């Protein structure tokens, strides 16, 4: 069983260098952060360590640079925003394990915070070669006396700053990771019923494992987004130019049959909002789900379906939602997602928004984080946990042994 943050702090972190793996992978337009949700979610663990007198060294990634420096993916704007949220300047190192990092970390006073440049500017971070990855992790570990894993959005990755460094330092779960795992355990082990799962997004192939694992746990599954058209095709309906995964039709048909056998209700839209081309809002119109014109593509669930889905969520005690119902970025195709989000705000129980596009959607549509029970910071990590997969970044903490604490 891994240490938690409180236990690590109780060992005495004052004056100690604590490396914190946070998830600060936020959307940028130029150097402007368009959604700081992940930064805000990372603040409590960083602040707790700083308040306890630790020298906090934050490591994180942004985007997918190709293992070398790329100014477009610099964490410099994130350092500024993190400092604003902490109410104290955050020192920024222009590299991860080089001269700047050594100098910045060496200059920290007790209670101060530094952010290292994008960890993915180093090829060793994401290397599939265990030796190369371990060598980079050793350089990271040399900057610290202890490690706190608080980047839930990356715990499903076997990467140096997530997995390998935990083998080299006294390690603990941050509060963010601990909360995420607690919520996911409630969804998979002890859900209060009725339990409704809402799945959307573009591809059904991204959600197959979740459907497979949750079919026997949930009472209802509500399907929307681009993935719905593979379900409609499996029922024998034509879907026009809508997104379709032909190779998943038989799998989806199997899920529909299995759900019927075990008494789990799968709701599919009865109407959809279509257009003749992507982004052509002027042509948006509502058609029956079994009558999509050959020249059209579906871009949202329709108003009748939105009302049905909202009604299906009434009275639920546990809800997990991952994936928007349509192309929410465009107003003409956002109403299905808005209806689901609004319904979740009235849940008398646990409502969980499963990160990624779902979290972005609720903020873009004007909802506040505190209107929901929990907003996950890790869409991919959440889905893999719900599939029943082992998350390397969690498993390594559970396996870690702390000999002699921080000394």
Q: Residues annotated as binding site for (2R)-3-phosphoglycerate?
A: 38, 120, 157
Q: Is residue 38 annotated as part of the catalytic site, yes or no? A: yes
| Tokens coding 216 | 């026997």
| Tokens coding 294 | 């050959």
Distance, CA of 333 to CA of 53 (rounded, Å):
49
Catalytic residue among 38, 55, 158, 220: 38
Q: Is residue 380 annotated as part of the catalytic site, yes or no? A: yes
Please enumerate, by residue number, every residue annotated as part of a binding site for substrate: 23-25, 38, 61-64, 120, 157
Distance, CA of 51 to CA of 40 (rounded, Å):
17
Q: Is residue 53 annotated as part of the catalytic site, yes or no? A: no
**Which residue, chain included where needed, has tokens 């003749």?**
276
Distance, CA of 394 to CA of 400 (rounded, Å):
10
- Counting every residue written for the chain, the total comes to 407
Catalytic residue among 81, 186, 203, 317: 203
Distance, CA of 281 to CA of 134 (rounded, Å):
50
Catalytic residue among 151, 201, 356, 393: 356
Please enumerate, by residue number, every residue annotated as part of a binding site for ATP: 207, 298, 329, 355-358
**Which residue, chain included where needed, has tokens 């006294």?**
170
Q: Residue 194, preceding bond cis, omega within 30 degrees? A: yes
Which of helix, strand or coil describes residue 21?
Answer: strand
Please enumerate, by residue number, every residue annotated as part of a binding site: 23-25, 38, 61-64, 120, 157, 207, 298, 329, 355-358
Residue whose C-alpha is closest to residue 391's, from 129, 399, 148, 147: 399
**Residues 6 or more apart in contact with residue 74 via CB below 8 angstroms:** 62, 117, 118
| Tokens coding 208 | 């197959």
358 contacts 323 by C-beta, under 8 angstroms: yes
Catalytic residue among 12, 83, 349, 380: 380
Strands 113-115 and 146-149: unpaired
Q: How many angstroms separate the first and last alpha carbons of the chain?
A: 20
How many angstroms separate the Cα of 268 from the Cα of each of 193, 220, 229, 260, 308?
21, 11, 9, 14, 10
Q: Is residue 37 annotated as part of the catalytic site, yes or no? A: no
Strands 297-301 and 271-275: antiparallel
Q: Which residues are identified as catalytic?
A: 38, 203, 356, 380
């Amino acid at each position: 069983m891994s240490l938690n943050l409180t236990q690590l702090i109780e060992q005495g972190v004052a004056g100690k260098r604590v490396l914190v793996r946070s998830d600060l992978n936020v959307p940028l337009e130029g150097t402007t952060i368009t959604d700081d949700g992940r930064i805000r979610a990372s603040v409590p663990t960083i602040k707790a360590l700083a308040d306890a007198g630790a020298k906090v060294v934050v490591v994180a990634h942004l985007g997918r640079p190709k293992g070398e420096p790329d100014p477009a993916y610099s964490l410099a704007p994130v350092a500024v925003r993190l400092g604003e949220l902490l109410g104290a300047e955050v020192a920024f190192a222009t590299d991860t394990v080089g001269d700047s990092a050594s100098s910045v970390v060496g200059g920290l006073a007790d209670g101060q915070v530094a952010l290292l440049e994008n960890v993915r500017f180093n090829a060793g971070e994401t290397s599939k070669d265990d030796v190369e990855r371990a060598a980079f992790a050793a350089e990271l570990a040399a900057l610290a006396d202890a490690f706190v894993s608080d980047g839930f959005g990356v715990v499903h990755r076997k990467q140096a700053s997530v997995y390998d460094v935990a083998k080299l330092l006294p390690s603990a779960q941050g509060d963010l990771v601990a909360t995420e795992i607690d919520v996911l355990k409630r969804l998979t082990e002890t859900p209060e019923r009725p339990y409704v799962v809402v799945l959307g997004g573009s591809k059904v192939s991204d959600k197959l494992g979740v459907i497979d694992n949750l079919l026997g746990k949930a009472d209802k599954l509500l399907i929307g987004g681009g993935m719905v058209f593979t379900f409609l095709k499996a029922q024998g309906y034509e879907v026009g130019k809508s997104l379709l995964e032909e190779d998943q039709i038989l799998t989806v048909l199997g899920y529909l049959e299995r759900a019927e056998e075990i008494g789990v209700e799968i709701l599919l839209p009865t109407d959809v909002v279509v257009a003749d081309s992507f982004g052509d809002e002027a042509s948006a119109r509502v058609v029956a789900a079994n009558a999509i014109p050959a020249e059209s593509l579906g871009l949202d669930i329709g108003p009748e379906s939105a009302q049905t889905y909202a009604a299906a969520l009434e009275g639920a005690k546990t809800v997990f939602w991952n994936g928007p119902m349509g192309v929410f970025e465009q107003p003409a195709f956002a109403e299905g997602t808005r209806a689901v989000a609004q319904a979740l705000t009235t849940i008398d129980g646990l409502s969980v928004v499963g990160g990624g596009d779902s979290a972005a959607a609720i903020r873009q549509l004007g909802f506040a984080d505190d209107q929901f029970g929990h907003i996950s910071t890790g869409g991919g990590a959440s889905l893999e946990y719900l599939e029943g997969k082992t998350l390397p970044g969690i498993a390594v903490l559970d396996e870690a042994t702390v000999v002699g604490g921080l000394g």
